[in-house]
Amino acid sequence: MAVVRGSRKKVFVMNSARYIFVGIICTLVIFPLYWMVVTAIQPPNVTLQYPPVLYPVHPNLLGFKQLFHGNPMGRWLLNSGFVASITTIITVSFSILGAYSISYFKWRGRAAFAFLLLFTQMMPEALIVIPIFKIYDRLHLLNQLPALSLIHAAFVIPVGVWILRPAFESIPKEVNEAASIDGCTDMAILRKIVLPLTSPAIIAVGVVSFFASWGDYLMAVTMISKKELYPASVGLASTMSQLDTPIQTLLSGALLYGLPPVILYMFIQRFVISGLTAGAIKG
């Protein structure tokens, strides 16, 4: 009896410790985001008080209003959406073809192709941003949004292929063989069998590529110098360096720009894991 009571007490202590630990972790993760929301919805004079008040006082939406008033923020968000859409179209179509090639066919050079993808995924873009800048300068592709999409696509395609590959390989061989005997060509198999069966993974590639492009700063700031063509990342960064931007406006911008990927990523979590780990963890 005493033993049981002792172990029950121990379990209670362990459980409480777990809740406390999880609570601390959640606070650490969520506090910066919470603080962004608080700052975005309260007037600057409250924000600049010391000591800071940890909950919103006089909440209002003036920050968002100013964002669209003084700065072409709406335009910048639209630019980002445009660049990201084109990136998504390129990435999804190229990744489907590449993943089909790598998961259905044995061909010479396949290993080299896989290494090229891996290398592209791992290489810091910053190492070659200047040669790309020079090439774009020569070809008059600077300040062209679709040309920026092309760069984004080049660097996110490996992730797309790694997300699609295990999904493609999970379709039983018998299904494809049966289709092949029935006279389906390889492209028809891709279109009629593989794509419909793997649509969740394809949607995941779409989301990942859209927000990879949406989140990029380095390529955009190097290739785009006209203010009206800025994507939101570059626009926000330029607002940040202007000393007279009210803090409420700035944080409203961060909120508006940062929230969409957070919401959508929650739905495609497991695909991101497989793309990130290059489909390598099978055991």
Partner 1 sequence: MKKVKSSRVSRSRLPYLLALPIIALSFFLVLYPIIQGIYISLTDKTLGAATGKKVSFVGLRNYNELLHSSAFLNSLRLTVIYAIMNVIFSVGAGLITALTVNKKFRGRGGVRALLTAPWAFPDIASVIIFIWILNSAFGVIGIINVHLPFDTSGGWLTSSPYAFISVVGISMWKTFPFYSIVILSALQGVPEDLLEAATVDGAGPIQRFRTVILPSIRPTVLLLSLLAFIFAFRQFSMIYLTTGGGPERDTETLVLMVYNTAFKYFDYAFSSAIGVAGLIVTVAVASTYLLLTGRSEKGAR
Binding to partner 1 (CB under 8 A) within 92-111 occurs at: 93-95, 97-98, 100-102, 104-105, 107, 109-110
Dihedral class, residue 194 (left if φ above 0, else alpha if ψ from -120 to 50, else beta):
alpha
Find the binder of partner 1 among 167, 233, 271, 275 (CB under 8 A): 233
Closer CB to partner 1, 46 or 197, in the complex: 46
Tokens describing residue 272: 């991101």
**211 near partner 1, rule: CB under 8 A:** yes
Q: How far is the CB of 216 from partner 1 (least distance, A)?
A: 8
Task: Please report how close the Cβ of residue 142 comes to partner 1 at its closest, in angstroms.
Answer: 14
Span 136-195, contacts to partner 1 by CB under 8 A = 150-151, 153-155, 157, 161, 185-187
Separation of alpha carbons 78 and 52, rounded Å: 35
Peptide bond before 51: cis, by omega within 30 degrees of 0? yes
Query: What is the closest distance, in whole angstroms, from the C-beta atom of residue 209 to partner 1 in the complex?
Result: 13
- Which position among 68, 81, 195, 265 is part of the footprint of partner 1 (CB under 8 A)? 265
x/- track of binding to partner 1 for residues 68-87 (CB under 8 A): --------------------
Alpha-helical (H) ranges within the chain are 2-41, 44-47, 62-70, 73-104, 110-122, 129-138, 145-169, 173-181, 186-189, 195-197, 199-215, 218-223, 232-241, 247-276
Closest distance to partner 1 from the beta carbon of 126 (Å): 4
CB of 172 to partner 1, least distance (A): 19
Q: Which is nearer to partner 1, 178 or 267 (CB)?
A: 267
Question: Nearest Cα to 207, choosing from 274, 280, 269, 256?
Answer: 269
Smallest distance from partner 1 to CB 253, Å? 7
- The alpha carbon of residue 109 and the mean position of all alpha carbons in its chain are separated, in whole angstroms, by 30
Q: Name the one residue in this structure whose structure tokens are 């409250």.
A: 46
Q: Which of residues 26-65 bind partner 1 (CB under 8 A)?
A: 26, 28-30, 32-33, 35-36, 39, 47-48, 50-52, 54
CA distances from 42 to 51, 164, 171, 172, 258 (A): 15, 44, 53, 56, 19
Considering just the CA atoms, what is the radius of gyration of the chain in Å?
A: 24
Residue closer to partner 1, measured from CB, 82 or 113: 113
Query: What count of other Cβ atoms lies within 10 Å of the Cβ of residue 101?
Result: 13
Q: What is the nearest approach in angstroms of partner 1 to the Cβ of residue 28?
A: 7
Written as six digits, the tokens of 273 are 């894991």
Please tell me whether residue 200 binds partner 1 under the rule CB under 8 A: no
Tell me which of 62, 118, 171, 203 binds partner 1, using CB under 8 A.
Answer: 118
